Amino acid sequence: MSDTVPPRSADIRYETDAPVLYEVRDAVAWVTLNRPGLANVQNSQMTYALDDAFRRAAADDTVKVIVLRGAGKHFSGGHDIGTPGRDVAKSWPERRTLWWDHVNKPAAEYLYAREQEVYLGMCRRWRELPKPTIAMVHGACIAGGLMLAWVCDLIVASDDAYFADPVVRMGIPGVEYFAHPYELNPRIAKEFLFTGDRMGAERAYQMGMVNRVVPRAELEEATAKLAARVAEMPRLGLALTKQAINHVEDLQGKRSAMDAVFHMHHFAHAQGDLAMGHSLGGMDAKSMAAHNRQSATDAPAGDKDGGDRAGGSKEG
């Protein structure tokens, strides 16, 4: 088999030139996912813009804390698997890890190289950012949206927020940044994945995944107050504390477990390609959204937060 193939191509049409917004107020950088009409689903354009924003905040000595939020009705509906701006087949010359370009690579290497860069690699970079990060979550936080929230140090959620990782329906054992058994008790993590059901903000708080739950109308104010409180601490003390806790998590196996599951994830992609000719197990944005709406209907009463407003998400 050849080491390379003709580069893949696609008709990519971006709806915005600014998929991420950035502003600084009172020592806090506010980083906003900005595809509101598409539930802030993440394409590579957004991922690289998000990395630029985090780098900018890290380099700015006036910034003590970083808040990540979503414009519109939702935090993030996951990875882009069905909009005109889906750009899986696009090369990005200024890659942020040392993985090679993916678009001219054959078979399973195509997605493996891409997801090492834009999903696992970038999420690990953002987790290691030395300044404290706070995810301000409202509405949907689904699949790839979880990855963005989970790399943050703290999560403040509105009372209408909900969390889900429905990708087992695609034959895939959870998203690439596999933090599930560290964010949740392992038995709860299994239920979360086995069912694909939505977990409401209050239950996420009870499980220890969320720090605070506040009414939707008070979300930005509550997040700003928490960020200001954290910003009172010395920069180096915050960085060392973050390093310490991240180090303990890694000693508990978080990094090595994630490496192992990333390979299971890509075995699942390859299986989908071989069995169905489709790396997502034959699922697309519409079918996933339909199943997610059904999941909301079937979920326990306490986990129905957010109605049926988002849901076409996944990896790849």
Can you give the residue ranges of every domain in the chain? 20-303
Superfamily of domain 20-303: 2-enoyl-CoA Hydratase; Chain A, domain 1 (3.90.226.10)
Question: What's the 3-state SS for the chain?
Answer: CCCCCCCCCCCCCCCCCCCEEEEEECCEEEEEECCHHHCCCECHHHHHHHHHHHHHHHHCCCCCEEEEEECCCCCECCECCCCCCCCCCCCCCCCCCCCCCCCCCCCCHHHHHHHHHHHHHHHHHHHCCCCCEEEEECCEEECHHHHHHHCCCEEEEECCCEEECCHHHHCCCCCCCCCHHHHCCHHHHHHHHHHCCCEEHHHHHHCCCCCEEECHHHHHHHHHHHHHHHHCCCHHHHHHHHHHHHHHHHHCCHHHHHHHHHHHHHHHHHHHHHHHCCCCCCCCHHHHHHHHHHHHHHCCHHHCCCCCCCCCCCCC
The pLDDT score that the predictor gives to residue 307 is 41
Chunked into runs of 10 residues, the chain (316 residues) has average pLDDT values of 87 97 98 98 98 98 98 97 95 92 95 96 98 98 98 98 97 97 98 98 98 98 98 98 98 98 96 91 80 70 49 46
- pLDDT tens column, 119-138: 999 999 999 999 999 999 99
- Note the pLDDT of residue 79: 96
Q: What is the pTM of this model?
A: 0.93
